[in-house]
A and B are shown apart, each in its own frame.
Chain A
């Protein structure tokens, strides 16, 4: 469906990455493949280094670090937060919502709303949609959107399918009312028949974690994982993305009445270089307008990869300039969403390490 918003803008962006870096070569021996085959995979997918959290580090830790950063630097006053949204697939607890835990940690005012949204690769865009809808309310003037995942903790180290690509990260985005921002166009579609294409089978109420779900088993491709681990049907996800994302972008631009060349940057979710380059070619977008350099330095941090691509590539100019950006996220659900929005003249735009 098509969505549109008016008089809203993003006023600040911060990305939080773990300080711990792991190199692809250091983990090759975990996989059931020859060195030559692993290096071929590395080159095709654009793997190199990724950032993952230390044992026991949670989404709330990354988010609290980010909030401290904006409080300490004077970018945000605690009492100004009217809504705190956290998009994550790796919450601290099954209950309560991690956004409430964060609110409690800082002793934020009670006159506000906290909510967690269970979404992954398209989650940043869904979080923006939700923030914009909240900003329609008279008493909501400032929304803090947190997007964070620590999925490395759920990936088997012996799974060549997922382990070399996954990264952990968080992002913090501030959204506010803004007269005369112009129209912001979005769209979203979902297909729950593909709900098992990306999943963590055990650990919820359907299949609680137990000794049996922790047992590593080998799949037909020689990867070892347990039911407690994240599992991805790579071919299904690839086909889904190539089939649905290009027409989605065409619909978005058509609805907005904006030509393909009039977009400064296509900031897409960063699954891997292979998939992004195929998308750029299919959409006939020059590769320099669609950065694909996140996976090689940080890994794929699910929905966080979109704000990370923006802050990493544009942090030096985004405080002074405006860019028309087309954002797109696609993955678990299955869910695919896009947004055409002008971002710029930010109060802050930075990356910090945890």
Chain B
């Protein structure tokens, strides 16, 4: 899953991300970034998440947990 952090950093246009970083707090955060993250997760983990899921997951770490949980169920 280390690819998760680097992928998120790229999409959020920063060098690195921390688990505690709030998604909506990033300068690059908007609906396009949100869609790009949804596509990134679908492509790499075969998991569908909604825009609301992202907001509810709140942080980078929260989103990673969600993806892991969903990937396990699939």
Contacts and interface: CB of A to CB of B under 8 A. Distances in A.
Interface of A: 33, 37, 40-41, 44-45, 160-161, 221, 234-236, 238-239, 242-243, 274, 278, 281-282
A234 B31 CA distance: 9
Contacts, number: 41
Nearest to B52: A235
A239 B42 contact: yes
5 contacts: A160-B31, A221-B31, A242-B42, A274-B39, A281-B43
Interface in B25-54: 30-32, 34-36, 38-39, 42-43, 48-52
B48 A33 contact: no
A235 B42 contact: no
B39 A37 contact: no
Q: Which 9 A-B pairs have the closest CB atoms?
A: A235-B51, A239-B48, A221-B31, A41-B32, A235-B50, A242-B42, A37-B30, A235-B38, A278-B39
B48 A242 contact: yes
Interface of B: 30-32, 34-36, 38-39, 42-43, 48-52
Contact of A235 (B30, B35, B43): B35
Contact of B32 (A44, A242, A243): A44
B27 to A, nearest CB: 10
Contacts of B49: 239
Given A37-B32, A239-B50, 13 more contacts: A40-B32, A44-B32, A44-B36, A45-B32, A161-B31, A221-B31, A234-B51, A235-B52, A238-B35, A239-B42, A239-B48, A278-B39, A281-B43
B57 to A, nearest CB: 13
B31 A278 contact: no
A40 B27 CA distance: 14
Nearest to A235: B51
Nearest to A281: B43
Given A243-B48, A278-B43, A238 B38 contact: yes
Contacts of B42: 239, 242, 278
A234 B43 CA distance: 17
Contacts of A41: 32
A239 B38 contact: yes
A239 B42 CA distance: 8
A240 to B, nearest CB: 9
Contacts of B32: 37, 40-41, 44-45
A238 B39 contact: yes
Contacts of A281: 43
Contacts of A234: 31, 35, 51
Contacts of A160: 31
Given A235-B38, A238-B35, A221 B50 contact: no
B23 to A, nearest CB: 14
Contacts of A161: 31
A161 B30 CA distance: 11
Among B35, B50, B52, max chain A CB count under 10 A is at B35
A70 B30 CA distance: 46
Contacts of A221: 30-31
A160 B34 CA distance: 14
